[in-house]
Amino acid sequence: MKFNFRRFLAVFKARNIEFFRDKGALGWVFVFPMLVTFGFSYLFNLGDSGIYKAATIGDSLAPKSELIQWITYSDIEEAKNKLRHHQVDLLVDFTSKPLTYYMNSTSPNSRIAEKVFLESRSPISISGITKIAIDGREIKYIDWLFPGLLTMNVLWMALWGVGWVVVRHRKLGVLKRFKASPLTPLEYLLAQVCSRLFLLVSSGVMIFIGGHLIHPFVTEGSYLTLLLIYTLGCLSLSSIGLVVAARLTSEEFANGILNLITYPMMFLSEIWFSLEGSSETTQLLAKFMPLWHMTSSFRRVMSEGATVSDIAPSLYILLGITVVFTLLGAAMFKWNKD
Amino acid sequence: MTDIILEIKDLFKSFKDIHAVNGASFKVTKGTCFGLLGPNGAGKSTTIEMVEKITSPDSGVILYKGEKLEKDYLNNLGVQFQQTALPPMLTVKESIEVFRNLYPNPKSLEELITLCQLGSFVNQRHDKISGGQRQRLLLALALCHNPELILLDEPTTGLDPQARRHLWDIVRDIKSSGKSVILTTHYMEEAFELCDEIAIMDKGKIIAKGTPKELLSIHFKNSIIQIPPGKTYDEIKSRSDLGEIHIKDHLLEIHTENLNDTLKFLTTLGLDLTGLNIRHSNLEDLFIHLTGKELRS
């Protein structure tokens, strides 16, 4: 039977009504990410610890100081980026001759860290030092965290909003009733995915605006690129939900499977903390997660101003996951237990 | 052009070791109501589900208007399940709209509301209405696209007498418009009222088939005399030559082929004839006669 847009639209509308009348789900989707953003914004603005972070290339000569915490980097460009975004207060390249240090002229903390560093060295050694000032806007932890909170919300909403809902419809007998009608599996499944996409995009935009009002985020890149990443991320995660829901009839079992997928994905996708410094295997594993591609692309666009071509590999991966899992889900789908 | 709208030939369906349907065959004529009767677990619902394409048969053939079931067959089929669920959180009106939009030429919303008397609760959520109202909604969904063949699986369960009779009127209207109904019910009175032809199923097989009157005349040649409780019970029960005698609903029933002689005998006992009732066998008697009295799961 041919794809019929009217049938698709009927189920799409029904699913939207179902969601918007479920006050609990509605509140969770909109309020939870805002509360987390607000909470973190508050916590991370409580005040400085009084210890300055300095990046170092070659740390053997780094002077000991109670006021400076040294973090070693192998890539100077990466370290400069951190300094540019105020993620470290100072960068010292001990491998260069003459010894060179970089400070961020727009950061008060960087000026203080510079003074602390210079005073920790003898007057003789100070004379042979080169200073390079760079500038750049501050990116706080909350700026880094926010894209993760947004994508984590998508993870839960897409997987449960599609996977769990389809299983519940099957268990209740809704799918059995639909099966006795001309509705096709593809029409039903696409309606579920598109309804979820509609809700996720609208809630995502509202959360983004709300989050920006609570804490004005730095967004260097294009909002359209962000929307593209967000949409592909939603579709790829929803399509994984389709495969989970293709045949299951038990909500409890579906919960278990969905948890098995979400928790590792959440921890490996740098939602709360960076995987810098973790093992190569862990970092490689992360690259298999659609959520990692979504989150890291989002961060790159927001903080570095990355363009579509910069993040193209991640976009292709998200698109590939969407196509493969949607087709797999449709092929495996059963309306009811035969 | 054939008058047979649906034909089922040698249908088999097993679930593991259970033969749910074991070689069922029947035909449904256009513009009639076909009743599928049987105790719980007889295989009625499984048979209906195969016609609805919910379940696939292990073997056998289902023909709609002489053809195998095509892809657009479901456009011509109206279904009311015994138990069903609808998309959650919707009102009655929204539920009807969803199903109307699944079909090419649906009836208007107003027509359905009037036909199934949904007006008083059309804006309520479907999970907040009574059992009887729900049955009427499910009937509206079955009829929303003006189907040629309507499958009603115990549609009057939970309905009050007025609502039941209203549904009977709808079924009669459907028949008079040239459309066909397959009905399963546990109410024998309902089957007798509505069905032009019935099939009685037991243990997956059709054990009797025909019009209600034909079946009654084949299986029962006797009349039933019902006698209220009295002192003469023991004396009557000792006369096995009168016919089959047993107690049902606190009444002594004599199934006799010779009504005059039996009545003469009863008067010789000095029996008070006040409260005595003479009736013919009905579908319920036939049902019990064919399927036995043991309880089914």
Tell me if A152 sits within 8 A of A271, measured CB to CB: yes
Q: Which sequence spans correspond to the domains of chain B?
A: 4-217, 222-280
As given in the structure block, the two tokens for residue A1 are 């039977």
Stretch B224-243: mean pLDDT: 80
Using DSSP, state whether A107 is helix, strand or coil.
coil
Q: Specify the fold of B4-217.
A: Rossmann fold (3.40.50)
pLDDT band at A45 (very low <50, low <70, confident <90, very high): low
Question: Measured between CA atoms, how close is A12 to chain B, in angstroms?
Answer: 10
What are the residues of chain A with a beta carbon less than 8 Å away from any beta carbon of chain B?
1, 6-7, 9-11, 13-15, 17-18, 21-22, 169, 172-174, 176-183, 335-336, 338
Among A97-101, A189-193, A272-276, B94-98, top mean pLDDT goes to B94-98
Span A52-108, pLDDT tens digits:
888 888 766 677 777 888 888 888 888 888 888 788 888 988 888 888 889 988 887
Bridge partner residues of B253 (DSSP): B226, B246
Question: Measured between CA atoms, how close is B86 to chain A, in angstroms?
Answer: 5
Partner-chain contact A174 B89, CB within 8 Å: no
What are the residues of chain B with a beta carbon less than 8 Å away from any beta carbon of chain A?
52-56, 71-72, 74-75, 77, 79, 81, 83-90, 94, 97-99, 101-103
pLDDT band at B7 (very low <50, low <70, confident <90, very high): very high
User: Residue A12's closest CA among A193, A186, A143, A176?
Assistant: A193
Selected residue of A174, A181, A187 to mutate for chain B interface (largest B Cβ count, 10 A): A181
Task: State the DSSP H helix or E strand holding residue A310, giving kind and residue range, or none if neither.
Answer: none
Q: Specify the fold of B222-280.
A: Alpha-Beta Plaits (3.30.70)
DSSP B87-147: -TT-BHHHHHHHHHTTSSSPPPHHHHHHHTT-GGGTTSBGGGS-HHHHHHHHHHHHHTT--
Point out the residue among A15, A176, A182 whose CB comes nearest to the CB of B102. A182
Integer Cα distance of A97 and B217 in angstroms: 115
pLDDT in the model for residue A49:
59
pLDDT in the model for residue B30:
94
Burial of B112 (0-12, 13-18, 19+ CB in 10 A): buried
Size of interface A-B (CB pairs under 8 A): 74
Selected residue of B86, B92, B101, B148 to mutate for chain A interface (largest A Cβ count, 10 A): B101
Tell me if A96 sits within 8 A of A58, measured CB to CB: no
CB < 8 Å to B21, chain A: none
* Neighbour count for residue A283 (Cβ, 10 Å): 15
Span A96-140, pLDDT tens digits:
888 888 998 888 788 888 888 888 775 556 567 888 888 877 667
Q: Find where tokens 């009811």 sit.
A: A336
Selected residue of A165, A175, A176 to mutate for chain B interface (largest B Cβ count, 10 A): A176
Query: Which residue of B lies nearest to A170 if distances are taken between CA atoms?
Result: B85
pLDDT at residue B293 is higher than 70: no
DSSP B270-297: T---TT-EEEE--HHHHHHHHH-SS---
Integer Cα distance of A291 and A220 in angstroms: 21
Integer Cα distance of A182 and A28 in angstroms: 35
Q: Are strands A130-134 and B33-37 parallel, antiparallel or unpaired?
A: unpaired
Question: Measured between CA atoms, how close is B262 to chain A, in angstroms?
Answer: 54
Integer Cα distance of B34 and B199 in angstroms: 8
Tell me if A298 sits within 8 A of A153, measured CB to CB: no
As given in the structure block, the two tokens for residue A246 are 């293709």
Partner-chain contact B81 A177, CB within 8 Å: yes
Give me the helix-helix angle, B92-100 and A5-21, nearest 10°. 160
Integer Cα distance of B174 and B183 in angstroms: 12
CB < 8 Å to B13, chain A: none
